[in-house]
Amino acid sequence: MSKFVRQLNNSSCGPIAILNALKWLYPDDNITYSDYYKEINELCKTTRHGTLASNFEEALEYYYINHGLRWSKLERFNYQTIKKHLKSGDSIILGHVELPQEGISEFDYEGHYSFWYLGDDNEIYGVNTLRRPAPTVNYWPLEMLKHLNKRTKEILMNEVEVYIIFGDRNGDY
């Protein structure tokens, strides 16, 4: 499998997550940072503040139409749902946003997109700021989902977007 790309600045996690999804989906193609990042960044309309979810989804849709990257957003999820998708050969992109609070600018909040997949060793790996993927041992939010009570999960679902990147290039879901 081709090496994944790490995030190089504080606002590039959205485009990097899509780039890593393409590298994962098409491991035999020469998908490089220098060939793809600028285009993905422009499609995501990433600013120094990051990438809005609506722009991120428009970029995913572009890559579906033009490159066959099949994706879907999970409206309801839990740890088992995510793990089931990973074990069936899909990957995921988690988008986490700490919602702005009253009196705080819409750009004064933290968020992050990260790419996740199941490795050959049957471990779940997350790729974000690391050059090499890291196992998810106690990594928030994926592992933590299985330990939360119902109310906390409801709050969390308002702050986390889960995008499935389908790994089956020929079949239908």
Helix axes of 53-67 and 33-44: crossing angle, nearest 10 degrees: 130
What's the CA dihedral at 14, 90, 76, 139 to 10 degrees?
Answer: -60
CATH classification code of 13-165: 3.90.70
In single-letter form, the type of residue at position 132 comes to: R
Q: In sequence order, what are the residues at sequence separation of 6 or more whose Cβ sits closer than 8 angstroms to the Cβ of residue 7?
A: 13, 16, 128, 129
* pLDDT band, very low/low/confident/very high, at 139 (cuts 50, 70, 90): very low
- Tens of pLDDT, residues 12-29: 989 999 999 999 999 888
What does the DSSP assignment read for 43-80?
HHT-BTTB--HHHHHHHHHHHHHHH---EEEESS--HH
Residue 33 is encoded by which pair of tokens?
């940072």
Q: Residue range 7-14: average pLDDT?
A: 86
pLDDT for 157: 56
pTM: 0.79
Q: Measured between alpha carbons, how far is 155 from 112 in angstroms, rounded to an integer?
A: 17
Helix (H) or strand (E) holding 161: strand 160-165
- Tens of pLDDT, residues 42-77: 999 998 888 888 899 999 999 999 988 999 998 877
